[in-house]
Structures are given as C-alpha cells and as structure tokens.
Amino acid sequence: MPIFPASANQIDSLEKLVGAYTLDPGRILQQSICHDLQRNWSVSVSWGYTVQIYPWLVSDNVLGIAFQTFETWNGKGNEPFTFNTRPVSPEPCDRPLVYFLDKLNNGDRVRDNYRTFTSYNRLVPESGGINCNRANFRSALALHSVIVTAPRMDPVEWRKAPRRQCCEIISPMDGADNILIQISSKRCNLLSSHQM
C-alpha cells in the first residue's frame, strides 16, 4: 500500500516524498505543533507528509508520540519499538482528520532564505466510510485542504536542540474550505499535559 493514498503505487509515493526532501532536506518529516484556542483545535504537521487536525485540544506531550500505523517485520504489531507509539482508535470521533501532501513549491526569497509552500488534501473515507457527526467536527470536516508555509530549514538549527518547531494558524474562521498554517522558528508556547 502506498504511503500517500492518492498515489497510484509505492514508487509514486516514494517520488513524492523524495521531492519534498529535495525542496527542504532539513525539514522533511519534522513535526510542528500548533493550537487554535478559538476553535479548540490542535494541529500536528509532519512536514512533507501529513497534517493532522484534532477538533479538540490535545497536549503537546501526546501529540509528540507517533501513532502506531505500522507493524514489526515479523507481523506482530504490538511488540515494543525503540520509541513510544500510541494506538489508532477504531472510533472516528477519537481520530484526527488526516491531510496528505499534494503539492509543493519553492516560494519567494526572504532575506538569505526561501519559503516553501506545501498543500495537503484530506483523506476522505471510501464510500461506506464513517465520519464523526459530533459538533466539534463539523467545521473541521468542511476543510478540504491545508496550506503550510515555512522557511527552508537551516541545518544549524537542529544543533540548538529544539524538539520541534511551532506553527500558527493564520486563516479565516469557520466557513473556509482551507486553512493556512505558518511554521516558524519562534519559541513555542507549549500546552503541557496538566493544562488540558
């Protein structure tokens, strides 16, 4: 199965991932987290792969743990890994909405760097698939795409030991069918687990 559901096959998926790597090798698959306190949303961006929108607030500690969407080589998916994982819930109301990379572009030069523009489209369940009907999901389900802008990652940045970069939702409120997320290297205002 391809890692990008809209891709025809695994080779097309790999080419898309390599294209993102070519555009910004330092940022590929790096996680950025943002929270929209007006809509009570949490967003996790895995640059060059997915954007996950949670129509509820989730602590950074939880968002930093990857979903276990894979199995070990021997097929026993619940064996321990060298990193923490969390299970994917079978309930649609307990899962984020997932948007996969669609397009990527180099943007304008800003000072000594270029901005990148990536767009992500929502994975829509196949016919017969179930969406969540809760009120907090309605405005999130209206979003068909997410646009992410970010400066190209300076390789020296990771020597400063950041765990992740932060992002900010800078788009219109309810009613829009897409949102704009800007990743920055500003200091994060973290929502710790005891605040949720």
Exposed/middle/buried for residue 140 (C-beta within 10 Å: 0-12, 13-18, 19+): buried
- Quick one: pLDDT at residue 158? 67
- Quick one: pLDDT at residue 80? 65
- Quick one: pLDDT at residue 23? 87
- Quick one: pLDDT at residue 130? 65
Q: Which domains does the chain have, with CATH numbers?
A: 10-58+93-187 (2.70.130)
Band the pLDDT of 77: cuts 50, 70, 90: low
- Quick one: pLDDT at residue 110? 57
- Quick one: pLDDT at residue 192? 36
As a whole-number percent, the residues of the chain with pLDDT over 90 amount to 12
Task: Read off the tokens for 135.
Answer: 């009120």
> Each residue of 6-58: pLDDT tens digit?
777 888 888 888 888 888 888 888 888 888 888 899 999 988 899 999 999 99
Q: Is the pTM here over 0.85, yes or no? A: no
The distance in angstroms from the start CA to the end CA of the chain is 36
pLDDT exceeds cutoff 60 at 178: yes
Band the pLDDT of 193: cuts 50, 70, 90: very low
> Each residue of 108-166: pLDDT tens digit?
665 556 788 899 998 776 555 567 888 888 888 888 889 898 888 877 776 665 566 77
E strand spans, 49-164: 50-54, 66-67, 85-86, 97-110, 113-122, 145-151
CB atoms within 10 A of CB 37: 9
